[in-house]
Amino acid sequence: MADYLTKNGARNVFYGGSAFFFAIFLGLTAHSAYYMRTTSTDETTLTDSVARGKHVWEKNSCINCHTLLGEGAYYAPEVGNVWTRWGGQQDPATARESLKGWMAAQPSGIEGRRQMPQFNLTDQELDDLADFLEWTSKIKTQKWPPNDAG
C-alpha cells in the first residue's frame, strides 16, 4: 500500500465524494419539497382573502421590521404566531378586533418604545391581513418560533 495518494486516487475521491454528496443534496431537497407540499400547509385553506392579506403584507413592507416564521428583520416582533398569541384559536372575532385596534392606534407614542407607522389600512385590508396572519399561524413550523413571545 502506498504511503501517499496518487493523482488518480485523489481524482476518484473527489469525483466519488462529489457525486455522493450531490445525491444526498438531491434527496434532502426532494424530501423538503415533499414535506412542504403534503404536511406543512393545507393548500385548500388558501382563499382570496389570504392572498390579498399577503399582498397587504408585501405592499407595506412589513417584513422590513417584522419576521414571519423566522424570515425578515428582527426589529419588531415575530408575527407568524401573533394570531395564537392574541387568542385567535379560542376567540377569532376578538383576535381580529384586537389586530384592527392595534393597527389603528399606531404609532402609540409611548416614550421609549419602538414606533410602528400608521398605514391607514381600510377595514377590508385589515380583515385580509388578519386572514393572512391566521393562515400563517396554522402552518406546521416544527415548533418555530421557539417561544410564544416570538
What would the CATH number be for the domain defined by 46-137?
1.10.760.10
Q: What is the pLDDT of residues 79-109, one digit of tens each?
A: 988 998 999 989 999 999 999 999 989 998 8
The reported pLDDT for the residue numbered 118 is 93
Region of 61 (left: φ > 0; alpha: ψ -120 to 50; beta: rest) is left
Whole-structure pTM value: 0.77
The confidence score (pLDDT) of residue 4 equals 83
Helix axes 123-137 and 92-104, enclosed angle (nearest 10): 130
Among 109, 129, 10, residue whose Cα is nearest residue 60? 129
Question: What are the domain boundaries of the chain?
Answer: 46-137
| Residues sharing a CB contact under 8 Å with residue 48, sequence separation 6 or more, in sequence order | none
DSSP-derived secondary structure letter, 68:
E
In this prediction, residue 2 carries a pLDDT of 61
Which portions of the chain are predicted below pLDDT 50? none
